[in-house]
Structure 1
């Protein structure tokens, strides 16, 4: 879920800005966090852990079969 938060801060604040110094970038991040925290919303998982793990297992199996196919 942290990746989702970083995606949001990047698309909603950082890509829109022009920062000429590190302190400006830090200020922009701090402002975004302050605004975001005024009305925080929890991230809600829409899939069960079991569903997510099964998807990861399927993806690993596909990747393994493709890698093994290229080795032969």
Structure 2
């Protein structure tokens, strides 16, 4: 990221820490059992393979604790 935006690694770390940003976690993988999982996965993978110009991809997670509180 630092090389891409032309800043130092230290600057990137400071910005991430200031805003509480974290890199995408990759130490675990949970496969969804949702009925539309395959369709959604194909849409998302398709975006990454052939990303239209001037596109931003955001990832939002719903925490399982929040689901439990809603019940």
> Could you tell me the TM-score, scaled by structure 1's length?
0.26
> Could you tell me the TM-score, scaled by structure 2's length?
0.26
Higher RCO (CA-CA < 8 Å; seq separation 6+) = 1
Name whichever structure is richer in helix by fraction.
Answer: 1
